[in-house]
Amino acid sequence: MNTNQRDNIALVTGASAGIGLELTRKLLSEDWQVVALNRSDFPADDMRIQKAVMNGWLRIYKTADLTDYASLRRTLEEIKDKEQRIDILFNNAGGSFSELSYSKQGREKHYELLTVVPYIILMELKELLKNGGLKTVVNTSSSALNYVKEFNIEILERPKTFRKLLGPYATSKLALSLWTQAIAPQLAKEGIKIRSVDPGGNNTLRKGKKSGLPIVVTLLMKLFFSPPTHGASQLYEGALGEHRNETGVFLLKGQTAELKFNDQSRDVLERINAIYEHEFLGAAKV
């Protein structure tokens, strides 16, 4: 089989592990081509993955660090140079950190990775999306956003305190869903639909890797959480299921849900767009 018989193309960030890996496997099994934007390698012993790479169904682009703008810029330029279109963009790359840390740009790292970088990727790959048929963006969010008690730009960029899962991780996921909501009318004028989706509780723990989760959540995850195939199915349905014609919505357990602090969605979008224009694009011109 050649790539031309696989008509649909999805770009998946964070495709080499956890939910992203299972989403990649699902897409390949459904006869999609997958463009993967990763930091790490795919499992070498996964024969289905390796076969897909050999046949050109799975094309891999690597960056050392998604929050390093120079590295991210090089990889996105390579994608734009080599790929002709994208039907669905799955902004899925993420993670939770075990302590307060900052990106090279000086912002809290959850916020940079989970909120700002997905916007940059969307803006940079928008023309490829416009060339595609489905013109859909799915941002991986989290139900943790429902536990946010205080929210503003200052807390996002430089938190005063740190809590695992319910601190910067939760506020960053909320900010992601808020800008998703705010940008939807603008993207609709270009024929692009965008949604944020909670993939549910998934056991994404990996040996030898700090989870950044509270101990009690880690124990619950090992005992009761679904395998990452569940989250992959939620993202897939979020893209292609019953809400496929809606835009700007947050999907929780497959249904649209209201967002907290949605009066601040425009402020979040304006701040992130300013970062994109002045820091990401601005640095490229220097």
Q: Identify the burial level of 60 via C-beta atoms within 10 angstroms of its C-beta, where 0-12 means exposed, 13-18 middle and 19 or more buried.
A: middle
The whole-angstrom separation of Cα 38 and Cα 58 is: 12
pTM of the entire predicted model: 0.91
Radius of gyration of the chain (CA): 18
Q: How far is CA 244 from CA 7, 168, 240, in A?
A: 18, 30, 5
Beta bridge pairs of residue 252: 255
Strand partners, 140: 197
For residue 286, the model assigns a pLDDT of 55
Q: What share of the chain is helix, strand, coil (3-state, %, to 5)?
A: 50, 15, 40
Q: Which residue has the higher pLDDT, 211 or 189?
A: 189
* pLDDT tens digits for range 37-49: 999 999 999 999 9
Q: Where are the domains of the chain?
A: 3-200+228-285
Confidence class for position 1, pLDDT limits 50, 70, 90: very low
Is-contact 254 168, C-beta < 8 A? Answer: no
Please report which confidence band the pLDDT of residue 166 belongs to, taking 50, 70 and 90 as the band edges: confident
Question: Residue 2 to residues 36, 42, 54: CA-CA distances in angstroms?
Answer: 18, 21, 11
Is residue 186 scored above 60 in pLDDT?
A: yes
**Quick one: angle between helices 47-54 and 18-29, nearest 10?**
60
Tell me the CA distances in angstroms from 286 to 49, 124, 281, 283, one per residue in order: 39, 18, 9, 5
Specify the pLDDT at position 104.
Answer: 93
- Of 12-16, 164-168, 212-216, 229-233, which range is least confident? 212-216
pLDDT of res. 205? 45
Cα(113)–Cα(22) distance, integer angstroms: 21
Minimum mean pLDDT range among 61-65, 222-226, 265-269: 222-226
More confident call, 205 vs 264: 264
Percent of the chain at pLDDT > 90 equals 80
Which one is predicted more confidently, 24 or 227?
A: 24
Is the domain spanning 3-200+228-285 CATH 3.40.50.720? The answer is yes
Predicted local confidence at residue 200, as pLDDT: 84
Cβ count near 47 (within 10 Å): 9
Is the predicted pLDDT of residue 261 greater than 80, yes or no?
yes
Residue 228's pLDDT band, with cuts at 50, 70 and 90, is: confident
* DSSP codes, 80-92: HHH----SEEEE-
